[in-house]
Structure 1
Amino acid sequence: MDRERNIWVVGGDLRQRALARLLREDGHTVHIAALEGEGLAPEPLGPGLALAHCVILPLPVTQREEILHTPLSEEEVTLSQVLDYMEAGQILCGGLVSPAVRAAGEQRGLRVFDYYAREECMVANAVPTAEGAVQVAMEELPFTLHSARVLILGFGRVGKLTAHRMGALGAKVTVSAQGYEDLAWAAAYGHETGRLETLSCELGGFDLIVNTIPAQVLDRRRLQWVNPGAFLLDLASAPGGVDRAAAKELGLRVLQAPGLPGRTAPVTAAAAIRDSVYHILWELEA
């Protein structure tokens, strides 16, 4: 950025750990809390938060109620513990900011932003998500993706990139989506297509089913059609798109894997978060 900032990174996973390092490399004064590893020295929450140009919270911000997502720390931190040290007018950024988190921040006069809601961040995160999906599929399937029959549910950012990468490896990709526009684009890319609304018995013809839709599209009725030997990979945000209880009863293999960028490419994901935060700060100063 054009000048040094005082930034706090509170909680998070490998993405936030990498983010703190990237921000320091850019010349900023970076404080971390509830975030450990790789020689990082976390600091206790305190009045220093009131001096921050920006406080960056995890993706997602909370793991339950108002408990922050802090998988790399044994410390349990609540949202209130952070907000109580901040002052009106300060900038608070988080990923997948819930209405409750936004309301709590705005009640204290904070300027609350969701860096993950920005298109540039979502597109950048879709790349490691798609690559991570390929990695997981290659680890879980007993055969190559080449010639595998793959169904992609949804054709948004992640669906497009996942279909492209699996198709490039020789998979026989079919896209099932609701919108006619999405189906037209999938066909234009050379994929087979099908309407999501009518999806039923054809589910039995796939070796791998990848869901990218953040709604339960694979309920018990549809799961009964799935090939018992198929692998289901759910990339959608919680609660996901697969009825996990029904899948377990039917003996189907399901892996719910939201947040793949944080596991497979944390530095790339961290760079996307950093850039989005920079864009927010620049826009506020314009």
Structure 2
Amino acid sequence: MMLTGMHVAIIGGDARQLEVIRKLVELDAKLSLVGFDQLAHHFTGATKLQIDEVDFADLDAIILPVHGTTLEGKVNTVFSHEQIPFTEEMLVKTPKHCTVYSGISNSYLDNLMKKVGRKYVQLFERDDVAIYNSIPTAEGTIMIVIQHTDFTIHGSRVAVLGFGRIGMTVARTFAALGAKVKVGARRSEHLARITEMGLTPFHLNDLEKEVQDIDICINTIPHLIVTASVIAKMPAHTLIVDLASKPGGTDFRYAEKRGVKAILAPGLPGVVAPKTAGQIIANVLSQLLYADLQKRKGNA
């Protein structure tokens, strides 16, 4: 599986993008790197450029960071002091087949991609990426719990809210460490699967009742579910770890008022295991780019 002849621009990002660069260089893609001025490492086949030096008319793909852009249309990068603009003027110069990849999206990116009519892939919407990412997420959650409690996970009472791709891995991991895990969900098939896994299921409608005896609450649901009335029912020593994307699903203001420790911890893979998280993205990206290349060869 080689990407010879494919020209890809990688714009901004963090340590995870280094794994993407390594992988694509290995597969013989031609890379233009923007926002990597302070990166000491030199990659053969990859050229560091300023954004205005990029030949957009020659690009087959553009890879944005996991977080995409800001709402103002700027790309953040840890390898440069400056944010990088990502605009309609740039994108309209790209060939019709050019695909834009990012981890997640926002209203700016959604509107921009609709306007220019280019294919747009959000990697974190994919089941495979989310499931692979749930592994470093679970490990990072263990790290946070150990740092912020004075009791062992073994024997502690843990409520996991949500039984999606992350919730399932987190619940299984904490159970494997000897915690007494119960999982809140709504769908009947999720409640059945939780039972099958040897964990205790409960319906999220009963959340206020179910939190009355817990030590740790781990939320994966990206809307307000750990409300003031839920927090009011928790023991004072309960630790809340919210893994949902910002702003999370917890009333942090009320938690602070009541003295319940609540931590918002989105994006743990990039924090606790950037190398692994980068390899996950790189592997999926290289498959998608290769499929695009084959499709174009077939249409040529």
- TM-score, with length taken from structure 1: 0.91
Quote how far apart the aligned CAs of 1:98 are. Answer: 2.8
Moved more, 5-14 or 119-128: 5-14
Q: Is the 8 A contact 2:24 2:286 kept in 1?
A: no
Letter in 1 for 2:68: V
Return closer, same or farther for 1:28/1:87 CA change in 2, 3 Å cut-off: closer
Matched, 1:197 2:205: yes
Q: Equivalent of 2:262, from 254, 266, 269?
A: 254
2:74 matched to which residue of 1? 67
Q: Is the 8 A contact 2:222 2:244 kept in 1?
A: yes
1:215 matched to which residue of 2? 223
Identity of aligned residues (%): 28
1:2 matched to which residue of 2? 2
After superposition, the C-alpha distances for 1:158-207 in whole angstroms (9 at most, x for unaligned) are 11111111111111111011111111111110111211012113313111
1:182 matched to which residue of 2? 190
1:20 matched to which residue of 2? 21
Quote how far apart the aligned CAs of 1:84 are. Answer: 4.8
Question: What RMSD over aligned residues (CA atoms) do the two structures have, in Å?
Answer: 2.1
1:263 matched to which residue of 2? 271
- Partner SS state of residue 163, structure 2: coil
Matched, 1:53 2:56: no
Q: Is the 8 A contact 1:234 1:254 kept in 2?
A: yes
After superposition, the C-alpha distances for 1:68-119 in whole angstroms (9 at most, x for unaligned) are 2434432112321883574141211111123431331342242222122222
Aligned-partner Cα distance in 1 for 2:89–2:172: 41
Matched, 1:126 2:134: yes
- Partner SS state of residue 205, structure 2: coil
Quote how far apart the aligned CAs of 1:263 are. Answer: 0.8
Moved more, 9-18 or 141-150: 9-18
Q: Equivalent of 1:230, from 228, 234, 238?
A: 238
Aligned-partner Cα distance in 1 for 2:37–2:145: 30
Return closer, same or farther for 1:21/1:57 CA change in 2, 3 Å cut-off: same
Aligned-partner Cα distance in 2 for 1:269–1:82: 32
Quote how far apart the aligned CAs of 1:213 are. Answer: 0.6
Moved more, 208-217 or 54-63: 54-63
Aligned-partner Cα distance in 2 for 1:158–1:222: 22
- Partner SS state of residue 237, structure 2: coil
- Partner SS state of residue 247, structure 2: coil
Name stretches of at least 5 consecutive residues in structure 2 with no aligned partner.
Answer: 43-47, 296-300
- Partner SS state of residue 83, structure 1: helix
- Partner SS state of residue 275, structure 2: helix
Return closer, same or farther for 1:201/1:3 CA change in 2, 3 Å cut-off: closer
Name stretches of at least 5 consecutive residues in structure 1 with no aligned partner.
Answer: none
2:49 matched to which residue of 1? 43
Figure out how many residues of one structure are paired with residues of the other and give that number. Answer: 286
Quote how far apart the aligned CAs of 1:27 are. Answer: 3.1
Q: Is the 8 A contact 2:160 2:167 kept in 1?
A: yes
Matched, 1:154 2:162: yes
Matched, 1:112 2:120: yes
After superposition, the C-alpha distances for 1:24-54 in whole angstroms (9 at most, x for unaligned) are 2333333322246552474211233432321
- Partner SS state of residue 256, structure 2: helix
- Partner SS state of residue 178, structure 2: coil
**Structure having the higher Rg:** 2
Quote how far apart the aligned CAs of 1:238 are. Answer: 1.6
Quote how far apart the aligned CAs of 1:66 are. Answer: 2.0
After superposition, the C-alpha distances for 1:260-281 in whole angstroms (9 at most, x for unaligned) are 0101111222122222223333
Letter in 1 for 2:65: P
Return closer, same or farther for 1:123/1:281 CA change in 2, 3 Å cut-off: same
